[in-house]
Amino acid sequence: MKIKYISLILTASLALYACDSDIDALSDPVNNEVVEGNPDIQYSSGSADFSTFVSVGNSLTAGYSDNALFAMGQEVSFPNLLAGQFALAGGGDFTQPYMNDDIGGLLLGGNPIASPRMFFDIATQTPSVVSGTPSTEVSNILNGPFNNMGVPGAKTYHLVAPGYGNLANLAVGAANPYFVRMATSPNTTVIADAMAMNPTFFSLWIGNNDVLGYAASGGSGTDHNVTGNLDPSTYASNDITNSNVFAQVYNGLVQTMVSGGAEGVIMNIPDVTSTPYFNTVPYAPLDPTNPDFGPQIPTLNMIFGALNGVFTALGEPERAIIFNENAASAIVIKDENLTDISASIEFALNSSPTFPAFIGQFGLPPEAAPLIANILGQQYGQCRQATAEDLVVLTSSSVIGTPNMASATALATQLINNGIPAASAQQLAGMFSLEGITYAMDDQWVLLPEEQEDVNNAISAFNNIIENAAMTNDLAFFDVNSFFTEVANTGYQAGSAFMTADYVTGGTFSLDGIHPSPRGYSVIANKILEVINAKYGSNIQGVNPVDFTGVYIQ
């Protein structure tokens, strides 16, 4: 059996360019100019002082989009847009640690360590990666600090970690390359550099990464609200931060920011599972009209028929794997929450008098039956087909239907070592290594319902801490979570642009499916201005979202 690829039934977003009337608006060149103030309006900062505005956060603050940080994206970061509007009422200069180019990506010692940005390719009608080599060298340290202290990848506790900007710490994973190139000294902290600017007004949007890494990796990390681990120095990048650690660090950050008398605005954490990253690839993407998949369905159903009988006999018929010849089929996934019945599968197959004849259809001798029973048990002891309750991550679209080479190599080696001829071993290994079809997709590709609950619980706990900090310190507060939920559920009318959470065509999110587009950042800036005006009595106008692109096209 050879399957080159499996067509993904996406949300039609990748095929709408030529016929969707909204896409023309999305393809307009980005307009980075600040909206001119109305000469008939006397702008006021109210009780706020915008003369030195400092913005602290992560990639969402830096202007990260399309899976990279690049100069064009930084121009439309929400803090830069805010600073341009603050200038109408006494706001001063706003500096950012600009990347060297619009390619994106990073070099360390001349070697690429971060990839270039994405764009929508008109010719292929798909998201692609720009060509070219990044020119931003991490070791070329900039003269900081900056007004925009957004550090892509930072979690709450990273903002107070000495050495997070130390070039020497990159080799051991204790530093962040984006902060390295902007830190004022090797052992400074992000918050210390922010305070060195003596802010009169600040924004703080941090905490997204304290849960996003876990979600984006399909829940393959650890939830430290379950483990009770209070030592963030032991956390992996895809772990969920313990809420007690989050509270201590976050409240300390806010106390530091207001210690000099600055006013400010803080934002909470959106429901990351409402982004296109988790809602573009369907759970059932296997297309029977695909010539590389459809003709193989009868053979696949025959193979899984033997297993399905075992599942039924074991009282777990819901684990049955069946591919539909007339409609899209769900992918096969590993679910670590299921009881591992590997041994029971192996025993049942070995006990079946028809199993040796079954494997004989694939050119295997009867004496190979125990080996194949063991392999099938190990392969499918904790698997099932996905359901609508599972969230399949965006990056899986390039993996589904392709061979898992590590699995194929290991399986072929096992078969050969047990006397199976090399040709037959390699054929069988290839047959049982197709991602999402004969090889259950690993945890990193699917966010299971139980893992979604971990994410939602963490976001809820973190957001309670953030909102309480806003009230306790009498700061402006923007509920980003509610806003993104509105965009996902009903859409949002931004001037003449109707924005949704659809991939590519929605206009809100960039092509990485998580970070906002220029238009998305412009609306976020406007929503922040609304809460600032309400809190401090200012009357700063916003920018026009239609002046900003929804997706970069070339």
| pLDDT greater than 50 at residue 9 | no
**313 occurs within a structural domain:** no
**475 occurs within a structural domain:** yes
Counting the structural domains of the chain, the total is 1
pLDDT at 13: 38
* Percent of the chain at pLDDT exceeding 70: 93
| Helix intervals (H) in 218-337 | 224-227, 243-258, 297-313
Q: Could you read off the pLDDT of 307-320 as tens digits, one per residue? A: 999 999 999 999 99
**119 occurs within a structural domain:** no
Mean pLDDT of 347-352: 95
**18 occurs within a structural domain:** no
**340 occurs within a structural domain:** no
* Domain that includes residue 505, residue range: 46-96+135-279+449-538
Question: Is 46 within 8 Å of 40 (Cβ atoms)?
Answer: no
pLDDT at 263: 98
pLDDT at 554: 87
> Please, which pLDDT band fits residue 3 given cuts at 50, 70 and 90?
low
**478 occurs within a structural domain:** yes
| pLDDT greater than 80 at residue 8 | no
The rounded distance, in Å, linking the Cα atoms of 540 and 533 is: 7
The total number of residues written for the chain in this structure = 554
Strands, E assignment, 62-125: 106-108, 111-114, 118-121
Q: Is the CA virtual torsion 545, 550, 552, 554 positive or negative?
A: negative
- Supply the CATH number for residue 466's domain: 3.40.50.1110
Look-up of token digits 């074991």: 314
Q: Could you read off the pLDDT of 151-185 as tens digits, one per residue? A: 999 999 999 999 999 999 999 999 999 999 999 99
Segment among 22-31, 402-411, 467-476 with least mean pLDDT: 22-31
**326 occurs within a structural domain:** no
pLDDT at 20: 35
Grouping H, G, I as helix, E, B as strand and the rest as coil, residue 538 is: coil
**13 occurs within a structural domain:** no
